[in-house]
């Protein structure tokens, strides 16, 4: 059940991430990487709140937990961004950014869940 909740919260984060990314990327020109970073930070805030409350029912101190979550999500972002960048580099930006974006997102899902469940939110309710 926790994975399903994590997936649903991740879906909300994905919508935030995609919306911010594609809105910013339209005006970013060659600075699409900056649009990607800002979208990531927006999504981390949304998913931390959702996972803290809905997925894991955490009552831990928000500061330390939030820092652990940011660290885990940063690691996941590294995986996500590496896949995204490799795809864009290999295929070229002219082929579009949607498939590289989706591939990067999918690559980070499992590691983010496992680290969130066993490191960030140590005592999950579900």
Q: What pLDDT is attached to residue 125? A: 53
* pLDDT tens-digit series, residues 48-90: 999 999 999 999 999 999 999 999 999 998 988 899 999 999 9
The closest of 8, 29, 32, 5 to 20, measured between CA atoms, is 32
- The pLDDT score that the predictor gives to residue 43 is 94
What pLDDT is recorded for position 30? 75
| pLDDT at position 123 | 67
Q: Would you place residue 29 in the very low, low, confident or very high pLDDT band (cuts 50, 70, 90)?
A: confident
The DSSP-derived string for 8-35 is HHHHHHHHHHHHHHHHHHHHHTT-HHHH
CA–CA separation, 51 and 2 (whole Å): 9
CA distance 108 to 125: 23
Do 56 and 92 meet the contact criterion of CB atoms below 8 Å apart?
no
pTM of the model: 0.74
- Domain limits of the chain? 2-120
């Amino acid at each position: 059940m926790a994975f399903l909740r994590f997936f649903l919260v991740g879906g909300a984060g994905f919508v935030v991430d995609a919306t911010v990314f594609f809105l910013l990327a339209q005006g970013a020109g060659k600075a699409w990487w900056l649009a990607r970073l800002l979208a990531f930070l927006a999504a981390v805030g949304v998913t931390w709140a959702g996972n803290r409350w809905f997925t894991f029912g955490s009552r831990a101190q928000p500061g330390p937990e939030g820092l652990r979550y940011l660290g885990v999500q940063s690691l996941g972002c590294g995986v996500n961004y590496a896949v995204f960048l490799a795809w864009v580099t290999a295929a070229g930006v002219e082929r579009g950014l949607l498939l590289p974006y989706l591939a990067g997102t999918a690559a980070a899902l499992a590691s983010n869940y496992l680290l969130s469940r066993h490191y960030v939110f140590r005592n999950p309710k579900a």
